[in-house]
Structure 1
């Protein structure tokens, strides 16, 4: 079971359990103890340091007893996740691998009026001094991340080979495909190598993507390496054997998977290597975190995801952030956490138009908004047109293949939809969001009357995202369909824990419940065996 907890220190202190639910921690000094540990280096402090900050006017024995009592109350508030808090005779610490803190996740508020640990009232002079310093550091961070004019990320795409000109061209195509995939997701420019430009006129690249080709008998070995030029840090590297170099031009699966994987991993590391005061750095960090929140499909996480994409756009007006925001609003509408469905629909449509205006040539934007066109506008022809265009222009984009599968399904091409979905799933195999494609393939397989493939995809999604509601909803019906009632019952119990308000009666009888494909295929009825 996932034992991660989340500590929110921006604004009032909030503590959330592994399932995202709020945990109640009463007492200002108990809250202060948690906050100080969460904001400390390595999330650890000596017992005596904590006692001095919270009970500076008490004697050593009384302060020590007070700390023990506070630790006991903190463990009780953490409940099943209490193992994240540890202590010995000298130190107290939180497990950094199992605790998330909003301020540590690159989330710096736009509004410099926001207060760290708002409203906390400990009434100890030592704690007040500590809090004053922490608040001053937050204001400094906000100032450092204020928007500035951004030039975009510069990507130099290179090739090294002793082979003929044809080999060099293939290497250039491969390196540029990786650069192109990066540029679809963040503001970036691919930079050409040229001996004609005087050095002062050519800016130093941020990222160098290098493809080294070596002929090895009848095939080639390709070594791909991406580095952050100023620091020489390696962001991605992979050695791949290619029976035929022309596979690069034809978008062969293994090559496309490598391109998608390389771009995805490089983007994930950009916020850690680029200068923090660059708007593209902050926007990349904010949007990346927004994707993690969005693909959880949880109510509070979806709201946070929208806010993160909004912040990303304010710092760097890239249409891709509007496209993601549009998809988030659509997801909120589908998942039904918000009461005003019409407002969500209207905003999703408006955002998707604005995204197209700002980024009319962006393949990823086309892939994202095609879903909005299909669900919000009922434009099945538009979905297919956008998705086909995206795949043709970039066959290494897993989002494009997922959109194409949905477009083909709407047009009635079941076999085409299944194959497109399967390809997207394979391309995204190494993505941290792979459960998004696994869940999508599960639903497509259901629509194509392939229950076994649907179960395999649903189980893959549940493995990589144990709290994913969509995957479990569909597995519930699939297990019941196959007569595996013990598994179906276990999934129903899991859903009752991770989805507030879930009941078997609701999935069976609430027509607005988000299992449209199961309902249209008549696959909900077997669930009645669990009643």
Structure 2
């Protein structure tokens, strides 16, 4: 066991006290970044970004290889302490003990004496220092994770309350609506459900989150009032009035209600760590996963790497399969984006994430939806993806993720018009989502596949305005502008693609059958590019 001191004077020593701290400061920085990482593991891209942020990525990767070699020389008598593959570098958790016994001292500095001239490294160091000062409990990385996973705080509890005359049809509908929202919330976070079999006052005192709904019918008009409340503070996560002509029963089947239920779930999950705090493991893991999603849906390479790490950390805190399902989707997006030459996430690895997520949380509709979407896009296997997508929609008819997975699977079976209608519904339900670019992107691709080029173009333009670093949508824009004969706009997009993808050429899109534009090729949208050569 090697003793690594992170708080106080940075050092690496053997059990007999021999100092084997690397002479290279960057090698020390590499060791520190790995030691303080979830599972002591970081991607090469993330490490380059935090130690050589001012260099070209290729130069940074070369420097990383050199410092990794320096680190291994210091540890040549300890085989297996530092391991790596083409994408990841990690430390053996059995070989290192991260010491912090003097961390509560006011003069105990994180990585004291380690001066590294890189702004991203120093920003990371400052964040860790602030977090550590706030917690005042500086223990080894493994112990921190154990504390979170073994938190004595009770799980977050949720209860549904329908307001209205007992037995009335409108009250039954209100109960259905409240239950659907609660189930949508529980797809994202681990909660315990409290049965609605107590007086309302007792229910409120025993629940963390209360989902209330009341429905009123009057002369062919129906109104539903939805409210999600944090019981302890009285703060409102979500409040919405839905109204439509028709009966209460028709409201349950309407897109208006599906939209409200989806919004209520997303807003509640987003606000939960801020209102409840991160003292409970599920709330802390939720905070990490939401941050991961904000990074993931930028579709930017470094942000996706960071999102991957955040999801792994969330899973280490709470063994919820939804975090693995998100990681599977993330790695599928990374694979499609072809973001850097050292990307080696194999289909087997992604499939492993999916299967593990399903084994842990197979009855979670969101897990099945994400697994179906990943399987459909990466493996193009509707025999696997379609049943999972259908199950996900049955579990939660308001889930836009489930509907999008179903639309993607329907495309693979050749049911293109049905796929278009389901995708359009999915996009409508998620129109107020903070991640709406995900549905715009997927619907744009389906529009291309079904020959709706004008609609596809408008969506691709919308996506690239929100997330200007997404390569797939720029490829679509390039072909769609060329198809319209708007070569001025097409050339602007071509220059943008060259910035996003160094070495990009039109010949790749036109002549390389492996280049990721299969839908464009099948839709006949590659031929118009020849006029630009």
TM range (shorter): 0.7 to 0.9
Partner Cα separation in structure 2 for residue 333 and residue 117 of structure 1: 39
1:24 aligns with 2:19: no
Secondary structure of the residue aligned to 2:198 is coil
C-alpha change, 1:142 and 1:173, in structure 2 (3 Å) is: farther
Q: How big is the shift at 1:232?
A: 0.8
Secondary structure of the residue aligned to 1:193 is coil
Q: Is the 8 A contact 1:326 1:349 kept in 2?
A: yes
Query: Which segment drifts farther, 111-120 or 179-188?
Result: 111-120
* 1:175 maps to which of 175, 178, 181: 178
Q: CA RMSD in A?
A: 3.5
Q: How big is the shift at 1:241?
A: 1.0
Query: Which segment drifts farther, 413-422 or 337-346?
Result: 337-346
Q: How big is the shift at 1:377?
A: 4.2
Q: Is the 8 A contact 1:253 1:427 kept in 2?
A: yes
Q: How big is the shift at 1:174?
A: 0.5
1:354 is matched with which residue? 356
After superposition, residues 450-489 of structure 1 pair within 5 angstroms as 450-489=452-491
C-alpha change, 1:446 and 1:132, in structure 2 (3 Å) is: closer
After superposition, residues 313-462 of structure 1 pair within 5 angstroms as 313-339=315-341, 343-462=345-464
Secondary structure of the residue aligned to 1:232 is coil
1:140 aligns with 2:143: no
2:299 is matched with which residue? 297
* 1:520 maps to which of 515, 519, 522: 522
Partner Cα separation in structure 2 for residue 269 and residue 210 of structure 1: 17
C-alpha change, 1:263 and 1:448, in structure 2 (3 Å) is: same
Partner Cα separation in structure 1 for residue 226 and residue 421 of structure 2: 28
2:87 is matched with which residue? none
1:156 is matched with which residue? 159
Q: TM-score, normalised by structure 2?
A: 0.72
1:247 aligns with 2:277: no
Q: Is the 8 A contact 2:299 2:467 kept in 1?
A: no
Secondary structure of the residue aligned to 1:396 is coil
Secondary structure of the residue aligned to 1:331 is helix
Secondary structure of the residue aligned to 1:286 is helix
Q: Is the 8 A contact 1:116 1:138 kept in 2?
A: no
Secondary structure of the residue aligned to 1:430 is coil
Secondary structure of the residue aligned to 1:246 is helix
1:193 aligns with 2:189: no
**1:153-192 CA deviation, whole Å, 9 max, x = no partner?**
2111112225861111000100111100011111123322
Partner Cα separation in structure 1 for residue 492 and residue 50 of structure 2: 21
Partner Cα separation in structure 1 for residue 156 and residue 507 of structure 2: 52
Q: Is the 8 A contact 1:163 1:214 kept in 2?
A: no
C-alpha change, 1:261 and 1:134, in structure 2 (3 Å) is: closer
Partner Cα separation in structure 2 for residue 407 and residue 401 of structure 1: 10
Q: Is the 8 A contact 2:377 2:408 kept in 1?
A: no
Partner Cα separation in structure 2 for residue 393 and residue 406 of structure 1: 18
C-alpha change, 1:205 and 1:491, in structure 2 (3 Å) is: same
**1:183-227 CA deviation, whole Å, 9 max, x = no partner?**
11111233222228996x997211111113234443122221111
Q: TM-score, normalised by structure 1?
A: 0.72
Partner Cα separation in structure 2 for residue 434 and residue 426 of structure 1: 10
Secondary structure of the residue aligned to 1:512 is coil
Q: Is the 8 A contact 1:180 1:190 kept in 2?
A: no
Partner Cα separation in structure 2 for residue 472 and residue 172 of structure 1: 45
Q: How big is the shift at 1:304?
A: 1.3
* 1:119 maps to which of 83, 103, 114: 114
Q: How big is the shift at 1:393?
A: 2.4
Secondary structure of the residue aligned to 2:206 is coil
Partner Cα separation in structure 2 for residue 159 and residue 120 of structure 1: 60
2:67 is matched with which residue? none
Partner Cα separation in structure 2 for residue 118 and residue 450 of structure 1: 61
Q: Is the 8 A contact 1:186 1:284 kept in 2?
A: yes
1:309 is matched with which residue? 311
Q: Is the 8 A contact 1:294 1:305 kept in 2?
A: yes
Partner Cα separation in structure 2 for residue 212 and residue 379 of structure 1: 43
Secondary structure of the residue aligned to 2:243 is strand
Q: Is the 8 A contact 2:278 2:287 kept in 1?
A: no
Q: How big is the shift at 1:20?
A: 12
Where structure 2 has 5 or more consecutive residues not aligned to the other structure, the ranges are: 1-31, 35-45, 56-97, 101-108, 118-125
